[in-house]
Amino acid sequence: MKIWIYSLISLFWVSIVHAADPINLVSAHPEQLEKIEGNELVWKDGTRMVISDGSKKETFDEMLNQPSLEYQLSQTYPVGAELEPVPAKDSDPGRIRYEPFFRKMYGDTASDVEKNLRTIQWMPNTYPQKLRVTTVNGVDKRLERISEKLEALSDELKIFGAKLGGGFYWRKISGTSRLSAHSFGIAIDLNTDKSDYWRWVRRKVGEVAEYHNQVPLEIVKLFEEEGFIWGGRWYHFDTMHFEYRPELIKKSDPGSATE
């Protein structure tokens, strides 16, 4: 019986792992990445990174805490989808991050990342704030465009851009040894007064409470059009959180930033 159950689990994870094509990495980051060659990602400077380390994880937590490039791409992000139904259990596209990839792309240390940071003016005409983000991959310019579009929306929608929770901040994710996407200057947290986070409402250790969200789809789409994924599309929901991950945006989408 146990063998049968483990076989089902293994097949489940294998099917997820092949949900995304590693070639998306290259097409999404053409300035830094050269090609996929066999089981390796080749960078423009000749650096090579193994895509699959050959290990097969049986649980989502194993994939999350022992990631590889293969597992980083293991779930397809549903760009443009409606907000219903809520994410399936452990469907967290983008939450698995292979840290060496981000350290190579954006900076190996806090000081390395800071060399490429720029302070932008966020919603200068309505809710003026300063935001420090990376210039790598034009993340700063993308956020400026989002800010401009956000200010053109109705008062009921633009309020979601007020009271930013932050941009660059080199830190570990609460309760883990994993670096936050904020460490690389590629993430932004919107109005925390109108956000929901699974750790704020969980009941027991390891248990995720019922999904909650207040962020309208109109806001989400502004970010997705610029290559940002949204934490509200995660089972472990973090609805204030947006991070630049164009390789996870479906290339078939007409508004995809990776095309």
Distances (CA, A) of 213 to 127, 199, 235: 22, 14, 12
- What six digits make up the tokens of 63? 């994939």
231 vs 15: which has the higher pLDDT: 231
Is 152 inside any structural domain? yes
Please enumerate in sequence order all residues whose Cβ is within 8 A of that of 18, keeping only pairs 6 or more positions apart, or say none.
Answer: none
Position 204 confidence tier, pLDDT thresholds 50, 70, 90: low
Is 256 inside any structural domain? no
- What six digits make up the tokens of 54? 């050959």
- Each residue of 13-37: pLDDT tens digit? 333 333 457 888 999 999 999 999 9
**According to the model, what pLDDT value does residue 99 have?**
97
DSSP 92: -
Least confident of 48-62, 111-125, 197-211: 197-211
Is 255 inside any structural domain? no
Which helix (DSSP H) or strand (DSSP E) does residue 28 occupy? helix 23-28
Is 254 inside any structural domain? no
Average pLDDT across the chain, whole number: 87
Segments forming the whole domain that contains residue 96: 2-248
Mean pLDDT along residues 150-179: 94
Is 29 inside any structural domain? yes
| Position 223 pLDDT exceeds 60 | yes
Number of domains forming the structure of the chain: 1
Is 257 inside any structural domain? no
**According to the model, what pLDDT value does residue 205 have?**
62
Is omega for the bond preceding 85 within 30 degrees of 0, making it cis?
yes
Residue spans of beta strands (DSSP E) within 28-92: 33-37, 40-43, 48-50
Is 35 inside any structural domain? yes
- Global pTM? 0.87
Residue 141 corresponds to which amino acid?
K
Q: Quick one: which of 183, 51, 38 has its CA closest to 109?
A: 183
Position 84 confidence tier, pLDDT thresholds 50, 70, 90: confident
**According to the model, what pLDDT value does residue 20 have?**
55
204 vs 31: which has the higher pLDDT: 31
